[in-house]
Structure 1
Amino acid sequence: MPRHTPPRPVDIEQLFPELVPLRRTTTRLHPRPGAPEVDESSVGGPLRWPSNEPWPHCTDRHYGPANGPRSPGGSALVPVIQIYRHDAPKLSFPDGTDLLQVLWCPFEHDECEPTPQVFWRAAASVETVIDPPPAPTDAEPRYVPQPCVVHPEPFTEYPRNDLPLGLLHALRDRFDQLEAESGVTYWGDLSTAEGTKLGGYPCWTQEPDWPDCPTCDDPMEHLLTVASWEYSGEAWRTWLPMEDRTLVDGQETRGDAGKAALDAAGLMLGDAGGVYIFECRTCPDRPTDHRFDCS
C-alpha cells in the first residue's frame, strides 16, 4: 500500500518565498515489516549480491553488547538498505548503475555507532546471487535491521538545522507569528522530513556536521538517513502517513501495526538518533562518509 505524507497545513513558499532556493527533494522510504525479495528495494532485506564477489566483513576493532573490546575478527556486515533506481528516480546514481546497497557492522566502534559501507552496481550484471552470512550471534540487536518492504515517496522539504543563520534571523518573527496564529511551527511541521530517507536534508538532532570530501575538499551531499524512528513525539501529526493515521492515539501506538509505523526495522541508534551517509558526486569514485547524532 502506498504511503503519503499529509499535505502541509499552509503554503510554505507563499508565506516564506525566501525558502524557495533552499527546497530539496527527499524520498521517504516508509519501511514496514515484510518479506522483500532480492529484486526489490528494502530495508534490512536480502541483497542482490553477486556470488563471485566476497561478502564484506568488518576488520576494525569494535565492541560487543557488554561493551567489552573485541579484536578485529572479520565480522560479517549486515544489510541495511537496498534501493533500485526505479524506486528513487530523484536520486543521482553513478553512470552505469541502477542499484544502491548499504551495509554496516552491527557492533559499536570508537565513534559508538555502526560503520556503514556503500556499494553501487548494475543490477543486470548480477547473474547469480550469494546467500548472505547470518548476522554475528553476539551482534547488537538494535543495529540489525529487521526485513522491511519500502513505500518510496518523493517529498519536498526545507532546511531545519541547516537554515542559514542570516535567513533564520530574517524569518524568525514570521515563524513566531505563524505559530501564534495557527499553532503550526516551521521547525516541526514545515521543514525537514523525519525518518529513513534518501537525499534532501539530514534531520539533525544536534548541530549540522557536514563532511568535506577527502579528495577534493568540497562539501559532500546527503545520500541517506537511517533513522531509529519514523517520527518523534508529537511530530506524528506531521510525518505519520495518512494511510496510518488510525494506528496512533496521541503519541501512543496501537498494537503491532502502530509500532511498525514508528520503528518497523527495530533499530535504536543511540538515543533514538540516526546515521547520516554522505557522498561526493564530483569525484569519479564517489567517496562517502557518515555522521551520527542523537538526542
Structure 2
Amino acid sequence: MARTTPSRPLDVEALFPEVSVHRRDAVRLHPRAGDPGIRESSLGGPLLWPGPQPWPHCDDDHPRTALSPSGPGPIPLVPVLQLFAADVPELPYPAGTDLLQVLWCPFDHEHGYVPRPEVFWRDSSLIDVEAAAPPRPTDTHDDYLPNPCVLHPERVTDYPNWDLPDDVAEALEDRFEELEEETGWSYWSHLSVSEGIKVGGYPTWTQDPYWPTCPSCAERMDHLLTINSAEFDGESWRTWLPVEDTPATGTIWDLPYEERSRIQCAPGLMLGDMGGIYLFECLRCPDRPFAYHSDCS
C-alpha cells in the first residue's frame, strides 16, 4: 500500500513567499514491517552483496555506555538501508552505479554516541552472487538493530526550519506567530521540514544545524539522507502522518501502543532521545567524502 503525506493545510509559498527560494525536494521512505527480498529496496532487510567481498567489520574503540559492546574484537556491521535507483532515482548515484547500501556498527561511538554508518555505492548488474545471511553481532541492543521493513517512497517538498537564513527567520517571526495563533498551524512543526526516514530535503534537526565541511575542498557537504527514530512526533503528526495510516475514528494517539508503534516507529530504532542520524557527502569531489552527524531531544 502506498503512503501519502496529507497536503499541507495552508499554502506555504502564498503565505510566506520568502521561503519559496529555499524549497527542496525530499523522498519520505515510509518503512513498514515486512519481508523484503534481496533485490528490493528495504530498511533492515537483506542486502545484495558481492559474494567475494568480505563483510565489513568495525574495529573502533567504543565508549563505555549502556550501548557498548561487552568485549573486544571486530564487530560485523548490520544492514540499515538498501536503495535501488529504480525506486529512489533522486539519490545522487555516482556514474556507473544504481544501488546505495548503508550499514552501521550497532554500538555507541564517540562521535555522537550513536551507531557509526558506512555507505557503499554499487552497480547491481555486476553482482551475480547473493550472499548468505551476514554475521550478526552479539550483545547488541534492539535500539540500533532495525526491524526488516519494506519501503513506500513518496516525493514531498521541504521548506527549511532550523536552516532558514537568520534574516529571513527574523523577518517572518511575527507572521509565523500570528498564523499559529489564528489557525493552530505551526510553520516550524507542520509546514516546513518533512519528518521520518528520508532522502534529500533538509535534515530534521532537533538541535542547532551542523553541516559538515568537506575535508578535500573545504565546502559544505550535501545532505544525503536522514534516519530518524520516528515517522512523526506528538506535535507534528497532524501533517506528517500518512493518510493511509490515519485512524477512522479518533487520532493516532487513541490507538493501542503496539498498533501506533507499527506506524510511528516501524523499524524499532531509538537514536538517543527520539533523535536522528544525518548522512552527508560532498558531490563536488570525485571520491565523494562522507560524514555523519546526530542529535536528539
TM range (shorter): over 0.9
Runs of 4+ in 1 over 6 A off after TM superposition: none
Contact 1:143 1:268 in 2 (8 A): yes
SS at match of 1:62: coil
In the alignment, what sits opposite 1:292? 294
The amino acid of 1:249's aligned partner reads T
Displacement of 1:219: 0.3
In the alignment, what sits opposite 2:53? 53
What is the root-mean-square deviation in Å for CA atoms of aligned residues? 1.6
Partner deviation per Cα, 1:205-259 (whole Å, 9 max, x = no partner): 0000000011111100111111111111131111110000018735344354421
Partner deviation per Cα, 1:262-286 (whole Å, 9 max, x = no partner): 1000000011100100000011111
Partner deviation per Cα, 1:173-200 (whole Å, 9 max, x = no partner): 1111211221111001100011100111
2: CA distance, partners of 1:278 / 1:173: 33
Aligned match for 1:254, one of 253, 256, 260 = 256
Contact 1:211 1:220 in 2 (8 A): yes
Contact 2:246 2:252 in 1 (8 A): no
1: CA distance, partners of 2:267 / 2:82: 14
Partner deviation per Cα, 1:9-50 (whole Å, 9 max, x = no partner): 011111111111100011000000000001110010000111
SS at match of 2:247: helix
Matches within 5 A, 1:85-100: 85-100=85-100
1: CA distance, partners of 2:35 / 2:258: 16
Displacement of 1:134: 3.5
Displacement of 1:71: 6.0
**1:194/1:273 CA distance change after superposition, 3 Å:** same
Matches within 5 A, 1:63-212: 63=63, 66=66, 72-111=72-111, 112-212=113-213
Displacement of 1:64: 7.1
Gaps of 5+ in 2: none
In the alignment, what sits opposite 2:271? 269
1: CA distance, partners of 2:69 / 2:84: 37
Report the TM-score when normalising by structure 1: 0.96
Percent identity between the two aligned chains = 53
Deviates more, 1:247-256 or 1:191-200: 247-256
2: CA distance, partners of 1:25 / 1:274: 19
Contact 1:179 1:185 in 2 (8 A): yes
**1:257/1:228 CA distance change after superposition, 3 Å:** same
Deviates more, 1:179-188 or 1:41-50: 179-188
In the alignment, what sits opposite 2:25? 25
SS at match of 1:292: strand
Contact 2:103 2:117 in 1 (8 A): yes
In the alignment, what sits opposite 1:11? 11
Q: How many residues align?
A: 295
In the alignment, what sits opposite 1:230? 231
